[in-house]
Amino acid sequence: MIIEMDTSERGGAEALHRYELNGAYDEMYSAVDHPRKQYRPLHNLLLNLGADQLRRSKHEADQSFFNQGITFTVYGNDKGTERIFPHDLLPRIITGAEWERIERGLTQRITALNLFLKDVYHEGKIIADGIVPGSIIYTCKHYRREMRGIKVPRDVYITVVGTDLIRNPEGNFVVLEDNLRVPSGVSYMLTSRRVMKQIFPGLFQKCRVRPIEQYSQVLLSTLKSLAPEGRSDPTVVLLTPGSYNSAYFEHTYLARQMGIELVEGRDLVVHDNVVYMRTTFGLQRVDVIYRRIDDDYLDPLVFEHGSSLGAVGLFNAYRAGNIAFANALGTGVADDKAIYAYVPKIIRYYLDQDPILEGVETLLMSDPGQREHVCQRLDEYVVKAVGESGGYGMLIGPHSTEQQRSEFRDKINAQPRNYIAQPTINLSTAPCFVDGTIEPRHVDLRPYVLYGEKITVIPGGLTRVALRKGSLVVNSSQGGGSKDTWVLQN
């Protein structure tokens, strides 16, 4: 249905004029002027909204983010240390059928990776059976020898997961990265949904979008399910590195939504292998810690000795079974980018199933043949450091200079185990409101998965956008932004 246009409001159709399809899968258009079915209500709205009106909406949204303090910290800037998280005004829409496959695929993948972690830190059968070489596992930057033989509650290692998916030119979702340590961004998913409902109430209702607001309740009950035995009404806390951490807003947001204490390392005291927090009425016992601090900084006795972010004795309390961590320690071994290449085998090994979601073809630089092959064609590949995240330590071949490539060639040859290469994938594009017009930008998708008594995939997620034209890097630290993600009811 096309609504009659007021002549003063014709800017919208004009705003869409600069929309060019570039060979990537486009989320909105199946072909020029052919919007996909799920995008039609949005498309109609865009035809009828003036650029001025969009600009006003964008301003309103910005203001709402700013006043709510939905910001991230920019380091090295004394005055304006807070910026609002860059976000795009238009929602990204996923059909119920597409989602159903994502949900099954993620459940399968996470079940397998969790079994893998349990195996790696106990019997090591997958190594003995020659499926994944021990040399790769034991050289992982995030492998934690200290975790050998430790029983974790419910055998759940990865409680909170934020897997990065991308859509390839054929239109299929594939897994780009597993984030199994301390994935972040979920607060942006929740708050941008709130803002979008304010800005596009009619469209939201018309599209029949599945709700995501239950996230905090599910997270809390998931965390509670990890409590040590015999603790009937467990105390759950969120451990933050403090207000200077770039994700601090998210920590406060989640703690408030769940109604739990937000603690810092200095609030915790370990006595006789029991963890307490220091309160105005004395010491109170803590049972479950949702920690937003990396393994290395949790306990200076066991890990990084100079760290004051954690608390002395936490690891012994963990070993004694008096405290649960979410996620468990040492989970980074399963999201190492070299292990990533083995995930299809891992799924087959533990579950005897074919992977529902495929991964991206991954070449290990520790393999001489593959290294040779990639080093000669660096301009075609994306090279990533295995232990890094957040878009750091990465070479995007087609967008690189000869000098960058030669630097990477040296790095790869110096430490082959540290690098993998993947063919450059043209991420799908979605409409974004940029500088007064609507243009396609590359996007990925990070759904959030919670694993306690069972696995829950939240229907939605963070769609990250490479806001620079043509860019394929969506990380917020590298000029990326976010979009609300609408999963439609079947």
Partner 1 sequence: MLSRVADSLYWMSRYFERADNASRVLKATYGLILNPAKFSTEERWFRAVSSLAPGAASNNVDPQRALFLLVADPEGAFSIVKCIGGARENARQVREEISSEMWEHLNRLFHDVTGSELQANDDAGAMRVVTAVREGSYRFHGVTAATMNHDEAWHFIQLGKYIERACNLCVLLDAYFVVDKHADDLDWVGLLSSCAAFEAYCKACTAELKPDRIANFLLLKPEFPYSVRYSLDRMHEALTAISTLSLSRRTDQIERLIGRLRSMVAYVQVSDVIRNLHKYLGEIIEQCRDLHAAVHEVYIDYPIEVAFEN
Q: Which is nearer to partner 1, 193 or 337 (CB)?
A: 193
Please report the DSSP string for 354-379 in residue order: --SSEE---EETTSHHHHHHHHHTGG
Least distance in angstroms from the C-beta of 400 to partner 1: 40
Q: Compute the CA torsion angle 395, 443, 386, 106 (nearest 10 deg).
A: -160
Least distance in angstroms from the C-beta of 249 to partner 1: 7
* Largest Cα span, the chain: 75
Least distance in angstroms from the C-beta of 482 to partner 1: 20
Neighbour tally for 395: CB within 10 Å: 22
Least distance in angstroms from the C-beta of 329 to partner 1: 24
CA–CA separation, 21 vs 379, rounded Å?
A: 24
Q: Which is nearer to partner 1, 268 or 449 (CB)?
A: 268
Q: Which is nearer to partner 1, 255 or 395 (CB)?
A: 255
Q: Which is nearer to partner 1, 295 or 299 (CB)?
A: 299
In 221-361 the beta strands, taken as DSSP E runs, fall at 236-239, 261-263, 268-271, 274-279, 282-285, 288-291, 324-326, 358-359
Q: Which is nearer to partner 1, 191 or 422 (CB)?
A: 191
Q: Which is nearer to partner 1, 249 or 448 (CB)?
A: 249
Q: Which is nearer to partner 1, 186 or 364 (CB)?
A: 186
Q: Which is nearer to partner 1, 252 or 307 (CB)?
A: 252
CA–CA separation, 220 vs 217, rounded Å?
A: 5
Q: Are 298 and 291 in contact (CB under 8 A)?
A: yes
Q: Which is nearer to partner 1, 13 or 199 (CB)?
A: 199
Identity of residue 218: V
Residue 394 β-bridge partners = 384
Q: Which is nearer to partner 1, 258 or 364 (CB)?
A: 258
Least distance in angstroms from the C-beta of 306 to partner 1: 22
Least distance in angstroms from the C-beta of 160 to partner 1: 18
Query: Residue 260 has which token pair?
Result: 């739990």
Neighbour tally for 421: CB within 10 Å: 27
Least distance in angstroms from the C-beta of 324 to partner 1: 20
CA–CA separation, 155 vs 123, rounded Å?
A: 14
Least distance in angstroms from the C-beta of 260 to partner 1: 8
Neighbour tally for 201: CB within 10 Å: 10
Identity of residue 245: N
CA–CA separation, 40 vs 488, rounded Å?
A: 13
Q: Which is nearer to partner 1, 5 or 84 (CB)?
A: 84
Helix (H) or strand (E) holding 256: helix 248-258
Q: Which is nearer to partner 1, 281 or 369 (CB)?
A: 281
Helices 51-67, 186-199: axis angle to 10 degrees equals: 130
Least distance in angstroms from the C-beta of 254 to partner 1: 8
Phi and psi dihedrals of 66, rounded to 5? -65, -50
Identity of residue 70: I
Q: Are 397 and 382 in contact (CB under 8 A)?
A: yes
Q: Which residues bind partner 1 (CB under 8 A)?
A: 66-69, 243, 249, 252-253, 255-256, 261-264, 266-267, 269, 271, 277-283
The conformational region for residue 96 under phi > 0 = left, psi -120 to 50 = alpha, else beta, is alpha
Least distance in angstroms from the C-beta of 337 to partner 1: 34
Alpha carbon distances (Å) from 114 to 159, 177, 178: 9, 15, 12
Least distance in angstroms from the C-beta of 320 to partner 1: 18
Say if residue 23 is exposed, middle or buried (CB neighbours under 10 Å; 0-12, 13-18, 19+): exposed
Least distance in angstroms from the C-beta of 12 to partner 1: 32
